[in-house]
A and B are shown apart, each in its own frame.
Chain A
Amino acid sequence: MSAISATAGSNYLNEKKGLWSWASTLDHKRIGVMYLFSIFFFFVLGGLFALLLRTQLLWPAGNVVSAKTYNQLFTLHGAIMVFLVIVPGIAASLGNFVLPLQLGAKDVAFPRLNLMSYYIYVIGALFAVCSIIFGAIDTGWTFYAPYSITAQGKVTLMLTAVFILGFSSIFTGLNFITTVHKLRAPGMTWFRMPLFVWGIYATSILQVMATPVLAITLSLIVVERVLGVGIFNPALGGDAVLFQHFFWFYSHPAVYIMILPGMAVISELVTTFSQKKIFGYRMIAYSSIAIALISFLVWGHHMFTSGQSPLVSMLFSALTFLVAIPSGIKIFNWLATLFKGSISLATPMLYCLSFLFLFTIGGLTGVFLGVLTVDVHLHDTYFVVAHFHYVMVGGTFMAFVGGVYYWWPKMFGKMYNEKVGTLGAILVFLGFNLTFFVQFYMGSQGMPRRYYNYLEQFQTLHQVSTFGSYLLGLGFLVVLINWIHALVAGKPAPVNPFHATTLEWTHTQSPPITHNFEVQPIYRHEPYDYGDEPHSIHGFQGQKA
């Protein structure tokens, strides 16, 4: 693309200056960047809570924090990481930045609504922070009734926060669906869309269809707390299991709201850093949609021990096995893409490979938990904790960090340091496995989750886990330092440092201009057109393989 110069003067970052120009921006790229910084701020906060928890668990009868504080810590860790970090996560930050670029659009369909989503997110976050400052909550992030109706603390405030955050999620999803339908560049047919777009599209469907149910469920809890209506509270003629049905009708699809964008990022990374056309493009695209649809029908597997009928449990168990199939299809397609590719081990690829290892473990243990008899033994133990951390952190978060590294040169026009990047990736991978792998074992031996004290026999394992979490924290610190250093002192980034083939790399400068493209791009080829033979040159920094 000779028309694009890497060092052109004006771009979306420097065209307008000042805080107000950011606060009032309608540019999807700036909104994406604002999300990115906000999300990582809350990630650090949630991470600190987790480190405190793990410190408490160094000793069987430890007394680092009080039992009440401990309950508040795990609740806040969960609520912040789920609702403020990983649900908005990739879709709101990278999705906002990359999706219109990959489609060849100037912006998302509703730019004002997009800015409003961001402010709704900020307001929701403020409510959450207020609930922490003015008394915290200890219900767990799942807010199970009837405890959440009768519990002391600022539960109403936190529920309101999550309610508000839900609307941010809904509006972002609505915006993306409309953008994908109506703003594709000429020639960009559905099956020429990059797989990142497919993944975000599937996520958006879930956000739009599932989140309203959470909104009504949480409002009902608030109404019960404030007005004493009896919907979920058995003491007032309500039904507590109904709450669980409602909650998981949202929160299971929400798991896929969290993981689908991660898969979307991985599809880009795996093909770019193999310099090879993705294997099974259509199957990956279809499997995203299949996951979105099936995930609405599996919520009951969170409730095997709630007293629902055995027939219902069996159906949910079978459907749970079914939802693992599209995920498996993706994994095999990615592996097949790697096969005979020209693989470069640049930092984003290290996170991509971590994802493949860790998500496979997380996904597979999920199938164990979907087996009725096994679940009766394992439910509410550390096995479950380890399982969803392998999916959420080992899966989504690895993809998130990898994606941020990958698009960093495009977002900020600066290169990160490759050596520090590698170091960070290795520390994160080791730290993560040290923290959570032992938890599988602990859980299978009967260590229940959310307990303040534990039997002495678990001490060694808990200590390994805690030291692992410190290593993980150190790894993320290295990542953050690398990013901040790149921002301040990174080398200027070329237009397409990784030799990728999608529009954001081939048709925009780094960083892009405010209107994205000098001229409206017209799309005439397949998304990952590397030719039949893998490229002999590695994209990364022009080095030979």
Chain B
Amino acid sequence: MANVNDSALFPLADHYAKPEQQVESGKLGMWLFLTTEILLFGGLFVSYACFNYLHMDIFKQAHQYLDWRLGAVNTVVLLFSSLTVVLSIHAAQQQRKAYVIINLVLTIACAIAFLVVKYFEYSQKFQAGLLPGVYFTNGTISNPDEAHVFFGIYFLMTGLHGFHVLIGVAIFVWLLLRTIKGDFSSQYYAPLELGGLYWHLVDVIWIFLFPLLYLIS
């Protein structure tokens, strides 16, 4: 470490020799965790591929019951929130606490907006009886015996993703509180970067979900 001032700003755990070692370990750990997330979603993506192949017509028909405009709004909201996360890290590097706080608040607002849109989408499906498996009661669709498979996949994928958005909200609230407390500085902002990595993954998964579910042609 360069000087005493640095060590006061960086909370170095005593099993690490240098700050860089600790930061790099954290990042590697996060990348590994993201790998597990991709594999977790991977199971659902493979299921999607199988059932899309088996019931191609039904998927085409059933996806029309999803509102692509709401999906597009959510895509824009999430993309924008990824930008605000990056800006918050940038602000932390420059020691501009107020900008960090503003950007984190914007990120949280976007995440909540995403969930609100999702809530309206879900309640509309519930009312129409467009539900998975045994709960499927919609009468207007031509193939109710098989159409429920699409909605099963839809609810599982967006549900698991929505759960991750919810976790993201919790993470950013925690990061916001720590920022307000003054834990971060231009020397130490690793948790912001790790939170950002997680959020980008949540974003990327949605970017795949949106066309696969809403824009089948």
* A interface list, Cβ under 8 A from B: 105-107, 109-111, 113, 170, 174-175, 177-178, 181-183, 208-213, 215-217, 220, 223-224, 227-231, 236-239, 242, 246, 515, 520
Contacts and interface: CB of A to CB of B under 8 A. Distances in A.
Q: Which of B13, B16, B28, B133 has the most CB of A within 10 A?
A: B133
Given A230-B149, A231-B152, A109 B42 contact: no
Contacts, number: 104
B29 A227 contact: no
A238 B148 CA distance: 11
B142 interface: no
Contacts of B50: 239, 242
A250 to B, nearest CB: 10
A213 B42 contact: yes
Contacts of A237: 55, 145-146, 148-149
Given A228-B135, A231-B153, 19 more contacts: A105-B15, A107-B15, A109-B29, A110-B29, A174-B32, A178-B32, A182-B21, A183-B21, A209-B39, A212-B39, A212-B43, A213-B39, A213-B42, A217-B43, A230-B132, A231-B152, A236-B149, A238-B149, A242-B50
B47 interface: yes
Contacts of B133: 224, 227-230, 236
Contacts of A170: 36
A364 B44 CA distance: 36
Contacts of A181: 25, 28
Q: How large is the interface on B (under 10, 10 to 19, 20 to 34, 35 or more residues)?
A: 35 or more
B29 A213 contact: no
B161 to A, nearest CB: 13
B35 interface: yes
B40 interface: yes
A174 B148 contact: no
B184 to A, nearest CB: 19
B156 interface: yes
Contacts of A224: 133
A230 B145 CA distance: 11
Contacts of B28: 177-178, 181-182
Contacts of A216: 39-44
B6 interface: no
B15 A229 contact: no
A210 B42 CA distance: 11
A174 B33 contact: yes
B4 interface: no
Nearest to A182: B25
Most-contacted residue by chain A among B17, B29, B33, B36 (CB, 10 A): B36
A107 B148 CA distance: 51
Chain A interface secondary structure, helix, strand, loop or mixed?
Answer: helix
A216 B146 CA distance: 23
B148 A183 contact: no
B144 to A, nearest CB: 11
Q: Closest 6 interchain pairs by CB? A: A216-B43, A228-B134, A228-B133, A106-B15, A212-B39, A107-B15
Contacts of A183: 15-16, 21, 25
Output the residue of B42, B43, B47, B54 with the most chain A CB within 10 A. Answer: B43
Interface string B1-30: 000000000000111110001001100110
A225 to B, nearest CB: 11
Contact of B40 (A177, A212, A239, A242): A212
B132 A220 contact: no
18 contacts: A109-B25, A110-B25, A174-B29, A177-B32, A181-B25, A182-B25, A212-B42, A217-B43, A220-B156, A224-B133, A228-B135, A229-B133, A231-B47, A231-B152, A237-B145, A237-B148, A242-B50, A515-B14
A212 B42 CA distance: 9
Nearest to B42: A213
B40 A215 contact: yes
Contacts of A220: 43, 47, 156
A178 B47 contact: no
A200 B37 CA distance: 22
Contacts of A239: 50-51, 54
Interface in B109-144: 132-135
Contact of B36 (A211, A217, A236): A211
A224 B153 CA distance: 12
A174 B28 CA distance: 9
A217 B133 CA distance: 17
Contacts of B156: 220, 223, 229, 231
A8 to B, nearest CB: 21
Contacts of B25: 109-110, 178, 181-183
A236 B43 contact: no
Interface in B40-96: 40-44, 46-47, 50-51, 54-55
For B25, B41, B42, B145, which residue has the most chain A Cβ atoms within 10 angstroms? B25
Contacts of B43: 212-213, 216-217, 220, 246
B15 A208 contact: no
Contacts of B40: 212-213, 215-216
A226 to B, nearest CB: 10
A182 B40 CA distance: 26
Contact of B152 (A111, A211, A229, A246): A229
A236 B148 contact: yes
A111 B134 contact: no
A85 B201 CA distance: 33
Nearest to A233: B133
A249 B31 CA distance: 22
A178 B29 contact: yes
A527 to B, nearest CB: 22
A311 to B, nearest CB: 18
Contacts of A178: 25, 28-29, 32
Interface centre among A183, A210, A231 (most CB of B within 10 A): A231
Contacts of B17: 520
